[in-house]
Chains A and B, each alone.
Chain A
Amino acid sequence: MRFGARLALAVITLAVTATACGTPQDSGSRAHTTADCAPYARYGEHPGTKVTVYAENRDREADLFEETWADFADCTGIDVQYEGDGEFEAQIQVRVDGGNAPDVAFFPQPGLLERFARAGKLKPASAGVAALAKQGWSADWNGYATVDGTLYGTPLVANVKSFVWYSPKFFRDRGLSVPRTWTELMALTEKVAASGVKPWCAGIESAEATGWPVTDWIEDVLLRQQGTHVYDQWVAHEIPFDDPRVIKAMDTVGSILKNDRYANGGFGPARSMASISFQEAGAPVLSGDCAMHRQASFYAGMWPKGTEIGPDKDVYAFLLPGDDPAGRPVLGGGVFTAAFADRPEVRAFQEYLASADFANARMRKGPFVSANRGVDPANAATPVDRLSIQLLQDPRTQFRFDGSDLMPASVGAGTFWKGAVDWIGGASTRQVADSVERSWPSR
């Protein structure tokens, strides 16, 4: 009898589970009037078609994307199936090799996009997408999605990395003002240090990506000291990784990050930053244990809950200055869309993603920055997003992409990060730069 009861229970459990799994997921089709659909008329009607999208954004970021293109999907009849995967960078290769490539992928690194373009897996952008790309983005930005003269996709997201986060209250209380040149920045640093507070805080722990915040620092300073030309040569390996000018930039960064008087505010000696995750590293800015934290625009989402961002709020950011107060060297990153298929519905979706309409609609939903010329800074969700968009649209801005994302992955996501960790741990600049140079793939 007991066995019978157990068997029945097992069968019921199985049946319930199976039914639950089999329940079709309604992807939210809502009633739409023709007026709602007017803006989407240009993308045509593709009833019964499906576009799969694969990217690394999950949870809320994924929801915001899906909410943004929901109207597009309803009006065109395209079923947009989004899949977010935290292991995107490793898994996209597996998916493509296994014959399961998505229709559209969001590449967080131009180098990764280039790898698939060179392997002949990506479809070149259609004429429609290319026209939108030309209209929406500068040649620099489109260049990151161009391989051997062929455009493969369009920029989707933009990040500004050259921000220094600070507490306006801390600055006001001590009579400090936002520095406009590198010299002023160093004077400010020394002034704060003299008052007994470590001026900088930093954290570079980020699982296997540990070290990247340091590489951003080095790139930012090289861009400021030597200008865009040398920076481009360095990234493309036309000058060696351990060029004397790069050594100089690293030593400049080292004078801050490897200096126990200047770092690591709130966490102890400078080398403690290897144990501190980059997400939590800025918290001492709020408690007054450090004055400045150099981190990208996306750090806005990493402040503790309830932190207000703005010029007169809890925290705000200024652009890391260079030698010339009028210059606007901006280091940044971005995400690019590219397609593994060229069916009409895939093209329509790509065109929609490439439009300023998409960027503006996405910005109205929550924090998001696009380098598209057509975005309206007024739509920005946070003051730092607005500042980022203004910087990206400023004609004086000299934007350069995060170099480690453009280098071969075994350097940019491997030996450079690892070298940065060793360097913070005490290795000499020369030693680290040489070892990265030696690791550069010869082909």
Chain B
Amino acid sequence: MSFDAVSQQPKLLYLLQGVAAFAAVVALILLALHRGPVRRRAAALILLAPALLLLAVGLVLPGLRTLALSFTDGGGGTWAGFDNYVWMFTDHRALVALRNTLAWVVLVPLTSTAVGLLYAAAVARSRFRTVALSLVLTPMAISFVGAGVVWKFVYAYRPAEAGQIGLLNQLVVACGGEPRQWLVDSPWNVLFLIAAMVWTQAGFAAVLLTGAIRAVPTELTEAALLDGASPRQILRRITLPSIRPTLLVVLLAQAIGTFKAFDIVKTMTGGQFDTGVLAHEMYDQAFRYGETGRGAALAVLLFLLVTPFAAHQVRAQRRTG
């Protein structure tokens, strides 16, 4: 659609008014808080204003509106009190989404970091490090939607007598088993979705951890070797403690990303077969069922769940930085 500035004039005018009002408020706050010379005050205002403006327009205002919507019913019209929050913890479907999100948030960061760590430890000092890292990083270059489609094919089901089109069932059949509907049988299907997410995330962990492992001083490992430590002992007693801050950042970043997992679920099962997660359920409620209030309540819950992780990560980074 083309953007017609003339027909959009009233909206642009509103926007302009909003921006002006906001700038005035920011100026007042800064004037009140800052006690430096006028010149420095002006500089602070100019430097801060764009960031604050974007935060307010793009984050704070929509956030407050979502919070308000979460206390209204379906169409977002009438006040519903805490109904939506009660629904969230009593409705079977919402509870399944909560359970699955918990499984995702526990399993994805742990598994992908573990896989990434083992991979990093194996290739960190190897000659083929660059090639090995680019290989494991390739899945990250694929979008989540792409990864979902790829893994949907891996899990595809065909009857035993027909030709298999899914890799996993082909392996099962080759070993003499019966093909299974991996994405249908609950609750195991959740694990199969998680596997797809881990596949996309392990590379990220591997690359960061390789960097951290290579930053561990060689004197330490050499000294340990001279003292007769086994490779396993070196990994446990020297490498792991040295890369702890990076490990934590990787885990937290992945936990935050996992909370918001949506694309993989949408492309692989559409939230069917009890595989829904919070972000996907939020979308379904708000946009497919027109239950804006419930969708907003789920969004608020998601925000509350992510906040401690994000806060901790900021603190951790401040310490390491």
Residues of chain B contacted by A118 (CB below 8 angstroms)? 75
Per-position contact with B for A406-443: 1 when CB-CB < 8 Å, else 0? 00111001110110010001000000000100010101
Residues of chain B contacted by A274 (CB below 8 angstroms)? 181, 184, 273
9 further contact pairs, Cβ within 8 A, besides A409-B289, A443-B73: A93-B290, A115-B75, A208-B270, A210-B269, A272-B157, A410-B289, A413-B289, A414-B284, A435-B92
- Counting CB contacts under 8 A, is B287 at the interface? yes
- Counting CB contacts under 8 A, is A207 at the interface? yes
In whole angstroms, how far apart are the Cα atoms of A415 and B92 in the complex? 11
In whole angstroms, how far apart are the Cα atoms of A69 and B289 in the complex? 32
Interface residues of B in 133-181 (CB under 8 A from A): 156-162, 181
In whole angstroms, how far apart are the Cα atoms of A260 and B283 in the complex? 36
Interface residues of B in 209-258 (CB under 8 A from A): none
- Counting CB contacts under 8 A, is A89 at the interface? yes
Query: B287, A94: Cβ atoms under 8 Å?
Result: yes
Sort A-B residue pairs by CB-CB distance and give the 9 closest, nearest first.
A208-B270, A268-B159, A90-B287, A275-B157, A410-B289, A207-B270, A210-B272, A409-B289, A275-B181
Query: B93, A209: Cβ atoms under 8 Å?
Result: no
Residues of chain A contacted by B156 (CB below 8 angstroms)? 275
Nearest Cβ on chain A to B87's Cβ, whole angstroms: 11
Nearest Cβ on chain A to B292's Cβ, whole angstroms: 8
Residues of chain A contacted by B285 (CB below 8 angstroms)? 410
Residues of chain A contacted by B288 (CB below 8 angstroms)? 89-90, 208, 409, 413-414
In whole angstroms, how far apart are the Cα atoms of A417 and B272 in the complex? 9
Q: Tell me the nearest residue of chain B to A92, going by C-beta.
A: B287
- Counting CB contacts under 8 A, is B11 at the interface? yes
Residues of chain A contacted by B162 (CB below 8 angstroms)? 266-267
- Counting CB contacts under 8 A, is B183 at the interface? yes
In whole angstroms, how far apart are the Cα atoms of A83 and B287 in the complex? 19
Contact A275:B183 (CB < 8 A) given known A93-B287, A94-B287, A421-B273:
yes
Query: A418, B272: Cβ atoms under 8 Å?
Result: yes
Per-position contact with A for B110-143: 1 when CB-CB < 8 Å, else 0? 0000000000000000000000000000000000
Interface residues of B in 61-112 (CB under 8 A from A): 73-75, 91-93
Contact A52:B184 (CB < 8 A) given known A99-B11, A209-B270:
no
Max chain A Cβ within 10 angstroms of own Cβ: one of B92, B181, B266 = B181
In whole angstroms, how far apart are the Cα atoms of A439 and B289 in the complex? 13
Residues of chain A contacted by B184 (CB below 8 angstroms)? 271, 274-275, 425
Query: B159, A409: Cβ atoms under 8 Å?
Result: no
Interface residues of B in 253-303 (CB under 8 A from A): 266-267, 269-273, 283-285, 287-291
User: What are 20 A-B contacts defined by CB distance under 8 Å?
Assistant: A89-B288, A207-B266, A207-B270, A208-B266, A208-B270, A209-B270, A210-B272, A268-B161, A272-B159, A274-B184, A275-B184, A410-B289, A410-B290, A410-B291, A413-B289, A414-B284, A414-B289, A418-B272, A439-B91, A443-B73
Q: Is the interface of B mostly helix, strand, loop or mixed?
A: loop
**Chain A residues bordering chain B, tally (CB within 8 A):** 39
- Counting CB contacts under 8 A, is A81 at the interface? yes
- Counting CB contacts under 8 A, is B51 at the interface? no
In whole angstroms, how far apart are the Cα atoms of A94 and B184 in the complex? 31
In whole angstroms, how far apart are the Cα atoms of A175 and B51 in the complex? 77
Interface residues of A in 286-301 (CB under 8 A from B): none
Residues of chain A contacted by B289 (CB below 8 angstroms)? 408-410, 413-414
Nearest Cβ on chain B to A268's Cβ, whole angstroms: 3
Name the contact of B272 in the complex, choosing from A208, A409, A413, A443 (C-beta under 8 A): A208
Nearest Cβ on chain A to B11's Cβ, whole angstroms: 7
- Counting CB contacts under 8 A, is A119 at the interface? yes
Query: Total contacts A to B, CB within 8 angstroms?
Result: 81
Query: B1, A81: Cβ atoms under 8 Å?
Result: yes
Contact A415:B159 (CB < 8 A) given known A81-B1, A210-B270, A421-B272:
no
Q: Tell me the nearest residue of chain A to B156, going by C-beta.
A: A275
- Counting CB contacts under 8 A, is A199 at the interface? no
In whole angstroms, how far apart are the Cα atoms of A381 and B11 in the complex? 46
Per-position contact with B for A257-279: 1 when CB-CB < 8 Å, else 0? 00000000011100110111000
Name the contact of A272 in the complex, choosing from B1, B75, B181 (C-beta under 8 A): B181
- Counting CB contacts under 8 A, is A332 at the interface? no
Query: A208, B271: Cβ atoms under 8 Å?
Result: yes
Interface residues of A in 93-135 (CB under 8 A from B): 93-94, 99, 115, 118-119
Residues of chain B contacted by A83 (CB below 8 angstroms)? 1
Residues of chain B contacted by A89 (CB below 8 angstroms)? 287-288
Nearest Cβ on chain A to B66's Cβ, whole angstroms: 13
Residues of chain A contacted by B287 (CB below 8 angstroms)? 89-91, 93-94
Query: A208, B284: Cβ atoms under 8 Å?
Result: yes
Q: Tell me the nearest residue of chain A to B160, going by C-beta.
A: A268
Residues of chain A contacted by B157 (CB below 8 angstroms)? 272, 275-276
Residues of chain A contacted by B160 (CB below 8 angstroms)? 268
In whole angstroms, how far apart are the Cα atoms of A89 and B157 in the complex? 29
Nearest Cβ on chain A to B179's Cβ, whole angstroms: 8
Residues of chain A contacted by B290 (CB below 8 angstroms)? 93, 115, 409-410
Max chain B Cβ within 10 angstroms of own Cβ: one of A52, A208, A209 = A208
Residues of chain B contacted by A266 (CB below 8 angstroms)? 159, 162
In whole angstroms, how far apart are the Cα atoms of A115 and B290 in the complex? 9
Residues of chain B contacted by A410 (CB below 8 angstroms)? 285, 289-291
Residues of chain A contacted by B181 (CB below 8 angstroms)? 271-272, 274-275
Query: A267, B270: Cβ atoms under 8 Å?
Result: no
Name the contact of A119 in the complex, choosing from B75, B92, B271 (C-beta under 8 A): B75
In whole angstroms, how far apart are the Cα atoms of A439 and B90 in the complex? 11
Contact A418:B93 (CB < 8 A) given known A93-B287, A274-B273, A275-B156:
yes
Query: A267, B74: Cβ atoms under 8 Å?
Result: no
Query: B74, A211: Cβ atoms under 8 Å?
Result: no
Q: Tell me the nearest residue of chain A to B291, going by C-beta.
A: A410
Residues of chain B contacted by A271 (CB below 8 angstroms)? 181, 184
Residues of chain B contacted by A81 (CB below 8 angstroms)? 1
In whole angstroms, how far apart are the Cα atoms of A209 and B75 in the complex? 22
In whole angstroms, how far apart are the Cα atoms of A211 and B91 in the complex? 20
Max chain A Cβ within 10 angstroms of own Cβ: one of B1, B183, B267 = B1
Q: Tell me the nearest residue of chain B to A25, going by C-beta.
A: B2
Residues of chain A contacted by B183 (CB below 8 angstroms)? 275
